[in-house]
Amino acid sequence: MSAQPIPLDDAQPEPLHTISLFVNNKPGVLVRVALAFARRGFNIESLVVSHGADERFSRITITCRGATRVLDQMIRQLAKLVDVVRAVDHTSDAAYETEIALIKVECRADERTEVLQIVEHYKARVVDFGPDSLMLQVYGPSEKLDAFTELLRSFRILEVIRSGKLLMARGRQVT
């Protein structure tokens, strides 16, 4: 008897990984990092880059999906790039994670009460009132933003802009 292939619909999604890179703050570093992901066939789902405490260095936070074994190899390759000081997968680490989103929804006057109840429940804020739209700001873990956005789908979402995940290791552990 031969093994039956697993249907694609039932396949488990690959785990989401949060990778932190500490790099020299020089032109071209981000391009080399992004090319390393592209060459291995990874899609970067979110990317945040900012100066570190010392402006000679930058922090790059990347989220992507992939098999842990393959991403471990990818991180070792990233660590070998000339301007990469440190590369770490923080997926299972104790870390504080947050993200911010701006969501613009079409919202008639008779729908505003319902939308404002959702906003209040998620501790979001209305940052712009238009005659037939609301711009909402929400922050927190990615899962919270996903759930908030999903609830707003019953209204017409006009725009969504998300920052990408920010992450910092807890305590004295280095990110």
* pLDDT tens digits along 93-141: 888 899 999 999 999 889 999 999 999 999 999 999 999 999 999 999 9
pLDDT at residue 41, as a whole number: 87
**Do residues 36 and 74 lie in contact, with contact meaning Cβ atoms separated by under 8 Å?**
yes
Asked if pLDDT for residue 6 goes beyond 70, the answer is no
Confidence of residue 11 (pLDDT cuts 50, 70, 90): low
pLDDT at residue 93, as a whole number: 82
On whether the pTM is more than 0.85, the answer is: no
Distance, CA of 149 to CA of 136 (rounded, Å): 10
Maximum Cα interatomic distance, the chain, rounded to a whole number of Å: 65
What does the pLDDT look like over 52-79, one tens digit per residue? 889 999 999 999 998 888 889 999 999 9
Confidence of residue 19 (pLDDT cuts 50, 70, 90): very high
Asked if pLDDT for residue 3 goes beyond 50, the answer is no
Distance, CA of 117 to CA of 92 (rounded, Å): 34
Domain architecture of the chain: domains with CATH: 8-93 (3.30.70.260), 96-167 (3.30.70.1150)
